[in-house]
């Protein structure tokens, strides 16, 4: 009984984590410096957010210099480098935040519920923003990327398996081809499919677009799959061979399931590589302003082509529509990432 009592009376603590009080204390200095920088920006020649950021950085740097000067050379160096490195990390965030900010600020005007399920068949590009939508482009992009993934994922994984599991005589050749494929300009991929598929079938089509996207997607998927498969411990292969497994069964049942989440990542990287591609679609899938579900004949809409076409028109409302389209595209890619991470991340470990 006494043991139980002591167990309940002991409060679990985490002495290695900074206390709330010291956390608040640590915030005071940067906050004051922030206010100081803001005041200087307000009353002097420095202007705008970049001026504020620069001032803030310099003031923090000066402050940490003053603070740790007396603590010796090593501590001084440490605190200065801390400031510089943190500043660098934040600076790397800046373009990302800036893109996000401009997409939201310029894109949100055009977004209303109907934007997601309407098309542009009876709406002119510079009609009011509460008319028409991007639904046809979402569907078109979805169809083309789906087909491209269905073509690329098996091929990419198979080539990864060839490079890491089979390790056949052509390993070097395959690796070289995959690497040089990743250097193919996207417009060249479009041109290639145009001359081979579009010209022979005598029609632009979503399928032709998918093929062009596949060319761009394959190297990404194959290389990622190879990198991921390389991480499988040799132990596991040995264990399955010692159980009397043939190589293809070992690859299929042991190696590939072990890296399922990595292969999902390969697929996502491939999709996000091509979902925003415009150039290969200009020559293959073209664009259309209405819904279309058949990928095998005639033009089909897509997100990047929607954005591209509206930007080219250049009126106020068409530009606003393009920005909204870009925002939607970005959110779709983001959602894809989240969903795929969830699906693939459930590794039994």
Partner 1 sequence: MSDTETELKTSKENGTTMNEMSTSGTSAAVADRPLGLETRGVHAWFGSHHVLSDINLQFPERSVTGLIGPSGCGKSTFLRMLNRMHEFIPSAAMAGEVLMNGNDIYAPEVDAAEMRLKIGMVFQKPNPFPAMTIKENVLSGIKLANLKVSNHDEVVEKCLTRAGLWKEVKDRLNASGGSLSGGQQQRLCIARSLAVEPSILLMDEPCSALDPGSTLRIEETIHELAEKITVVIVTHNMQQASRVSNYCAFFLSDGGPGVLVEADATRKMFTNPTDTRTADYVQGKFG
Give me the residues that bind partner 1 (CB under 8 A), please. Answer: 233, 235-246, 249-250, 253-254, 257-258, 260, 347-349
Nearer to partner 1, 48 or 244 (CB): 244
Closest CB 149 distance from partner 1, rounded Å: 22
The whole-angstrom separation of Cα 296 and Cα 292 is 10
Nearer to partner 1, 15 or 244 (CB): 244
What tokens does 86 get? Answer: 């943190």
Nearer to partner 1, 234 or 316 (CB): 234
Nearer to partner 1, 214 or 258 (CB): 258
Nearer to partner 1, 255 or 271 (CB): 255
Closest CB 241 distance from partner 1, rounded Å: 7
Q: How far is residue 43 CA from its own chain's centroid?
A: 41
Nearer to partner 1, 72 or 168 (CB): 168
* b/e per residue 178-189 (b: at least 16 CB within 10 A): beebeeeebbeb
The whole-angstrom separation of Cα 105 and Cα 99 is 10
Closest CB 242 distance from partner 1, rounded Å: 4
Tokens 């299929």 correspond to what residue? Answer: 252
Q: Is 261 left (phi over 0), alpha (psi -120 to 50) or beta?
A: alpha
Reported in sequence order, the residue ranges of the chain that DSSP labels E, i.e. its strands, are: none
Query: HSE-up of 21 (CA within 13 Å, CB side)?
Result: 0
The whole-angstrom separation of Cα 215 and Cα 218 is 6
Nearer to partner 1, 250 or 287 (CB): 250
In contact, 344 and 263? CB cutoff 8 Å: yes
DSSP per residue over 79-133, as a string?
HHHHHHHHHHHHHHHHHHHHHHHHHHHHHGGG--GGGGT--SSS--TTS-TTS--
Closest CB 287 distance from partner 1, rounded Å: 43
Tokens 């605190």 correspond to what residue? Answer: 79
Nearer to partner 1, 70 or 172 (CB): 172
Name 189's Cβ contacts closer than 8 Å, sequence gap at least 6. 212, 213, 215, 216, 280
């Amino acid at each position: 009984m006494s043991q139980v009592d002591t167990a309940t009376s002991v409060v679990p603590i985490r002495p290695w984590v900074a206390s709330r009080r010291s956390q608040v204390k640590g915030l005071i200095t940067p906050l004051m410096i922030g206010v100081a920088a803001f005041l200087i920006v307000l009353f002097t020649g420095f202007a705008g957010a970049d001026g504020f950021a620069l001032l803030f950085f310099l003031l923090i740097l000066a402050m940490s210099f003053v603070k740790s000067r007396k603590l010796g050379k090593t501590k001084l160096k440490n605190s200065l480098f801390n400031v510089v490195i943190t500043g660098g990390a934040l600076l790397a965030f800046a373009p990302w935040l800036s893109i996000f900010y401009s997409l939201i600020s310029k894109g949100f005007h055009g977004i209303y519920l109907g934007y997601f399920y309407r098309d542009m068949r009876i709406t002119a590009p510079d009609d009011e923003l509460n008319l028409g939508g991007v639904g046809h482009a979402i569907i078109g992009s979805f169809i083309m990327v789906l087909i491209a993934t269905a073509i690329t994922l098996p091929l990419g994984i198979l080539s990864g398996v060839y490079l890491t599991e089979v390790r056949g005589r052509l390993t070097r050749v395959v690796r070289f081809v995959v690497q040089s494929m990743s250097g193919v300009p996207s417009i060249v991929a479009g041109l290639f499919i145009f001359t081979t598929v579009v010209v022979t079938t005598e029609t632009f089509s979503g399928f032709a677009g998918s093929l062009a996207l596949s060319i761009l997607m394959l190297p990404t998927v194959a290389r990622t799959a190879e990198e991921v498969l390389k991480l499988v411990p040799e132990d596991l292969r040995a264990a399955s061979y010692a159980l009397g497994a043939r190589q293809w069964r070992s690859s299929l049942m042991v190696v590939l399931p072990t890296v399922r989440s990595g292969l999902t990542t390969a697929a996502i990287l491939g999709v996000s590589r091509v979902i925003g591609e415009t150039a290969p679609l200009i020559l293959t899938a073209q664009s259309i302003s209405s819904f279309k579900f058949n990928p095998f004949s005639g033009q089909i809409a897509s997100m990047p082509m929607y954005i591209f076409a509206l930007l080219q028109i250049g009126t106020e409302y068409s530009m606003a529509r393009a920005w909204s389209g870009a925002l939607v595209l970005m959110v779709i890619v983001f959602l894809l990432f989240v969903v795929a991470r969830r699906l693939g991340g459930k590794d039994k470990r």
